[in-house]
Amino acid sequence: MDKPILTILTLLLFINVSGQSFSKKDFVKTDWFTENIDSLFFKSDTIRLIQHTNYGPEWAKDEYAEYEMKYFDHGDYLNFGFQRFGRFEYWKTYNNYIHSVPIADFTWKFDKNNQILTVYKDIVAYFKLKPISKRQIKIESRYAEQKDLLTTSELTLIKIK
C-alpha cells in the first residue's frame, strides 16, 4: 500500500517541479505591457508581462480595456507587440502618455528547445528572457461600462545575461 502512494506522490512532485513549457504560439500575435518605473524593465532580473486580451465597449472596440495605470499605481510602463514573421514592436508610456521608441529594426525569436525568448535590435540580441510561469489574473477596465474585473494572463520571465 505504501509503494503506490509513494509512486503517486513522486509523480505529482515531478510534474510540479518540471514547470510549464512554452512555445512560439504563446507569443505570436499578442500584445503585452510591463512595469517600467525608473526603467525597472531594463534593471530587473525578473519581468512580469501582462497580456492585453480584453477590448473596450462597442464605441472603443479597437482599444484594449486593461487599465495599466491603475494596475501599477503609476503611468510608466512598456508595451510590447509580438507580430507575425518575427516582427517586434515596443513603445514606452510615461505618465500615461505614449512615447515612440527610436527607429530601429526589432525582431523576435523563441527557441523552443532552450525556452528562451530573444529580441533583436538591428540583428543584434537586445535582450533575452526565459519564461518560467504563466497564470490568470484579474484587472480593472479603464472603461466605466465594464464594471466586472477582466481576466488576462501574467507571464513571469527571467532575464538572461
Q: What is the pLDDT of residues 149-159, one digit of tens each?
A: 999 999 999 99
- What is the per-residue pLDDT across 4-32, written as a single tens digit (0 to 9) for each? 555 555 554 444 444 689 999 999 999 99
* Residue 19 or 75, more confident: 75
Residue 108 lies in a domain: yes
Q: For the segment 129-149, what is each residue's pLDDT rounded down to a tens digit?
A: 999 999 999 999 999 999 999
**pLDDT tens across 38-65, in order?**
777 878 899 999 999 999 999 998 999 9
**Chain centroid, CA 144 distance in Å:** 25
Q: What range defines the domain where residue 126 resides? A: 22-160
The count of domains in the chain is 1
Residue 1 lies in a domain: no
pLDDT of res. 17? 43
Which pLDDT score, from 0 to 100, does residue 6 have? 53
Could you read off the pLDDT of 77-117 as tens digits, one per residue? 999 999 999 999 988 888 888 776 666 789 999 999 999 99
Q: What letter represents residue 125's amino acid? A: A
> Locate cell 517541479: which residue?
17
Q: Which amino acid is at 115?
A: Q
In a domain, 9, yes or no: no
